[in-house]
Structure 1
Amino acid sequence: MNLWFRVLRVIVLAFFRPRLGLLAESRLRFRVWPTDLDINVHMNNARYLSLMDLGRLDMIVRSGMGALVWRQKLQPVIAGALVRYRRPLKPFQPIRLRSRLLAWDERWLFIEHRLESGDVLACHAVVKAMLVGKDGGIAPAELARQLNQGQDSPPLPDWLGPWVEAETLLSKV
């Protein structure tokens, strides 16, 4: 239930926060609640990913994608994730989630998430995502065009290339 309150909070507050450009960073603040904990009394690994969903939700609403998603009955879909858990998050610890669109190719959006507490990086992740409609996925270039942000993708960071290649190989298994 705790996550539903966070979802509602993110959606409502998004309407009062500045609009985001396609490559702008979303920043959200949370606190680690007892319902986020695992048996080791630190944030459960799955909860990190759930909070990242909220970062993408904030990006969708504030970038104008939300209207597009609603009109075209699109679903945001994650196809893969590269996650590095670096530090545990303890009960009641304040955290900041930074989310941004890193780059895209012909098919996929690559979104970076950073969960931080103070100046300490607790978790770093990149997800491979797309918006899917009844006729399949929308190409990122078409998405940018529909959002009147017809810019080219920034280059994919060098450190991400090997993961993208591994994902391509894994999809053939």
Structure 2
Amino acid sequence: MPPWLRLLKMAFHAPFREKLGWRDESRLTFRVWPNDLDVNLHMNNARYLAMMDIGRFDLAIRCGFAGLVWREKLKPVVASALVRFRRSLAPFQTFTLRSRVIGWDEKWLFIEHRIESRGDLYCHAVVKALLLGRAGGWPTAELLRSLAVQAPATEIPDWLAHWQAAEGGLRG
């Protein structure tokens, strides 16, 4: 099934699924189809990232900030990703994508994605994303306020702060 069709299917079903809180986890189940495969006959690395996009959209819809994105004409943008592939997903294998917000600062949201099957972790990733408006990045404080979430301005696990610092060396 192509990613755009999976996205449409998720978008249709999301409003009927349980609402999620700011820190709750979205869980979606998929199957590896032949068009997901690479030359090694396992799921293509890029397809993992496409699936994670769908997980973030499900999270946005079910957490309630998709409406804000629509009203304010914001664009969800991923700036970077830290991805670890642990096992290969085979043709027709089912898997679960788990997505949740694990941290934020004044500008960025950090969203964790876990792809699991048969009780094993296949891929673990964290993406650094923001909501982009006409005037630039939408402040995280505005997002939290719009969701009526009482939370500190910044909440980043220590290991994530180290990744962010290391990422600073990539600027060129």
TM-score category, normalised to shorter length: over 0.9
Residue segments in structure 1 that go unaligned for 5+ positions in a row: none
For 1:75 and 1:161, how far apart are their aligned partners in 2?
25
* Gaps in structure 2 of 5+ consecutive residues: none
2:88 maps to 1:88:
yes
Q: Please report the TM-score for the alignment, with normalisation by the length of structure 1.
A: 0.95
1:165 is aligned to 165
Write the letter of the residue equivalent to 2:51.
L
Q: Which amino acid aligns with 1:66?
A: A
Question: In structure 1, what residue type is equivalent to 2:90?
Answer: K
SS in structure 2 opposite 1:46?
A: helix
Residue 7 of structure 2: aligned partner? 7
Distance 1:153 1:102 in 2: 14
Q: CA deviation at 1:153?
A: 5.9
Q: Provide the C-alpha distance between the structure 1 equivalents of 2:150 and 2:161, rounded to a whole number of angstroms.
A: 24
What per-residue deviation string (whole Å, max 9, x for no partner) do you get for residues 120-167 of structure 1? Answer: 100000000000011111111111001111322674223322211012
Secondary structure in 2 matching 1:15 = helix
Paired with 1:37 and 1:153, the residues of 2 have a C-alpha distance of 41
Q: Is the 8 A contact 1:141 1:150 kept in 2?
A: no
Deviates more, 1:15-24 or 1:38-47: 15-24
Task: Say yes or no: does 1:144 pair with 2:151.
Answer: no
Paired amino acid for 1:58: D
- For residues 52 and 165 of structure 2, what CA distance do their matches in structure 1 show? 23
SS in 1 for 2:164: helix
What is the alpha-carbon root mean square deviation over aligned residues? 1.3
Worse overlay, 102-111 or 151-160: 151-160
Counterpart amino acid of 1:65? F
Secondary structure in 2 matching 1:69: helix
Aligned partners of 2:50, 2:25: CA distance in 1, in Å?
A: 18
Matched, 1:127 2:109: no
Q: Percent of counterpart pairs with the same letter?
A: 56
Residue aligning to 1:48: 48
